[in-house]
Amino acid sequence: MKKVLIVGAGFSGAVIANTLANTGNYLIDVVDERNHIGGNCHTERDPLTNVMVHKYGPHIFHTSNEKVWKYINLFGVFKPFINRVKSIYKGQVYSMPINLHTINQFYGKSFGPSEAKRWIESQGDSTINDPKTFEEQAKKFVGEKLYKAFFYGYTKKQWGTEPQNLPASILKRLPVRFNYDDNYYNDTYQGIPKDGYTAIIQKMLDHPNVKISLGYRFLGEKEDVGEYHHVFYTGPIDAYFSFRYGRLGYRTVYFKEYRADGDYQGNAVINFADEEIPYTRVHEHKHFTPWENHSETIYFEEYSKETESSDIPYYPKRLEIDMNILKLYESEVTNLNKVTFLGRLATYRYLDMHHIIEEALDSAEKFLELDSHK
């Protein structure tokens, strides 16, 4: 049997491990520097409240890709969950994403859909023809007032810079709905795994040909991988090459944890749009499992900041300077014929779980096809 090494036990690594193991032709070592599997989707029960906590921030599974949905459902039970986010601005609670309810409440109106559409169009800044920045794009779409309320402070806190310094591409489409649909996602399928994401990933890795080593830090190009037929690497691309062209820019988030009796905020996620409030949102995790009963609660304030070398990289900034550095690393990758780079960190992209799973399934399929000719 051929030996394969997989670096990282998140969804990327687990999908590869599962697909290769099922062929019966590979012996697979999965290593992760953390002391748990699951990567950033890791969930575990809080010992004090027994609430299932998403340790690296709230994760809602959503996809319109039927193949991915069927695949993920092989590994656990998904309970229906609709993400309905609220946003607090100047002491008022609004419905997100901006919809007819938000517009009517914000402007003190009772518009129907077409009146609201005309109204929003009249608010948009018609002098902006070719928006270059996030600020211009938002003002063109929704006008100064809604921009200031729901985009300015939140975005500034999230990215640590004035929205006029961010590219327009962050806000591609009109972020407004002219009906009362407050489902945060537009996808066909949406849910939360009954027993958490780590149980799903555990099931993917549960195979006699898969060996997992936790607390193992892979050293990138410095590591001797001579015994392996192939390596799948899901860690940061710049770390693999010991940062020799510099570090890629990321924003990171950190959480302040609180517990209380009963229900703290009555919803899973509430955004805080005011610039003066230092956190971006509060998540209360028992609301991600409405089918469970908990008399106590645990909730987290989420703060955003620049990533330092000891922080977990979360959101790739992908500024011009980063993209130039990325090109240098990518050209090195093309010289490595027995290492596949995949996942959010190795490709330096923000990817949802369903994208990750789709790409990992494709990557495994391509690898197996090529390997069958060797």
Ligand X SMILES: Cc1cc2nc3c(=O)[nH]c(=O)nc-3n(C[C@H](O)[C@H](O)[C@H](O)COP(=O)(O)OP(=O)(O)OC[C@H]3O[C@@H](n4cnc5c(N)ncnc54)[C@H](O)[C@@H]3O)c2cc1C
Considering only residues 6, 18, 32, 166, which one is a binding residue for ligand X as defined by CB under 6 A?
32
Give the other-Cβ count within 10 Å of 54's Cβ.
Answer: 22
Sheet holding 78-80, edge to edge: 61-63, 189-193, 78-80
Considering only residues 39, 131, 153, 316, which one is a binding residue for ligand X as defined by CB under 6 A?
39
Q: Write out the two tokens for 234.
A: 């899901």
| 143 sits in which H/E element | helix 134-146
Of the ranges 9-17, 107-115, 265-273, 320-328, which one interacts with ligand X (CB under 6 A)? 9-17
Q: State the minimum distance, in angstroms, from the CB of residue 96 to ligand X.
A: 14
Q: State the chain's maximal CA–CA distance in angstroms.
A: 69
Q: Please, is 117 exposed, middle or buried when counting C-beta atoms within 10 Å of its C-beta (0-12, 13-18, 19+)? A: middle
258 contact partners, CB below 8 Å, separation of at least 6: 264, 298, 299, 300, 301
Nearer to ligand X, 123 or 307 (CB): 307
Judge whether 300 and 282 are in contact, CB under 8 Å.
yes
Residue 247 annotated among the catalytic residues of the structure: no
Considering only residues 4, 5, 12, 96, which one is a binding residue for ligand X as defined by CB under 6 A?
12
Q: Which of 177, 182, 329, 344 is catalytic?
A: 177
Rule CB under 6 A: is residue 238 a binding residue for ligand X? no
Q: State the minimum distance, in angstroms, from the CB of residue 125 to ligand X.
A: 31
Considering only residues 5, 6, 7, 237, which one is a binding residue for ligand X as defined by CB under 6 A?
7
Nearer to ligand X, 61 or 299 (CB): 61
Judge whether 88 and 166 are in contact, CB under 8 Å.
no
- Coil, helix or strand at residue 306: strand
Q: State the minimum distance, in angstroms, from the CB of residue 116 to ligand X.
A: 28
Q: State the minimum distance, in angstroms, from the CB of residue 91 to ligand X.
A: 26
Residue 352 annotated among the catalytic residues of the structure: yes
Q: Are strands 61-63 and 315-316 parallel, antiparallel or unpaired?
A: unpaired
Nearer to ligand X, 55 or 177 (CB): 55
Cis bond upstream, residue 97 (ω within 30): yes
Q: Which residue has the tokens 């996942």?
A: 343
Extended beta strands in 236-321, E state: 250-261, 269-272, 281-284, 296-306, 315-316
Nearer to ligand X, 98 or 269 (CB): 269
**Binding pattern for the stretch 304-343 against ligand X, x by CB under 6 A and - elsewhere:** ----------x----------------------------x
Residue 302 annotated among the catalytic residues of the structure: yes
Residues 150-209 that bind ligand X (CB under 6 A): none
Q: State the minimum distance, in angstroms, from the CB of residue 253 to ligand X.
A: 6
Instruction: Write the DSSP string, 312-368.
Output: PP-EE---HHHHHHHHHHHHHHTT-TTEEE-STTTTT----HHHHHHHHHHHHHHHH
Considering only residues 49, 104, 198, 234, which one is a binding residue for ligand X as defined by CB under 6 A?
234
Select from 10, 6, 7 the least CA-distant residue to 56: 10
Rule CB under 6 A: is residue 8 a binding residue for ligand X? yes
**What torsion, rounded to 10 degrees, do the Cα atoms 274, 254, 293, 43 define?**
140
Considering only residues 6, 9, 53, 204, which one is a binding residue for ligand X as defined by CB under 6 A?
9
Residues 46-85 that bind ligand X (CB under 6 A): 57-61
Nearer to ligand X, 61 or 154 (CB): 61
Nearer to ligand X, 58 or 196 (CB): 58
Residue 251 annotated among the catalytic residues of the structure: yes
Q: Which residues bind ligand X (CB under 6 A)?
A: 7-13, 31-34, 39-41, 57-61, 217-218, 234-235, 239, 253, 314, 343-345, 351-354, 356
The residues annotated with a catalytic role in the active site are 173, 177, 251, 281, 302, 350, 352
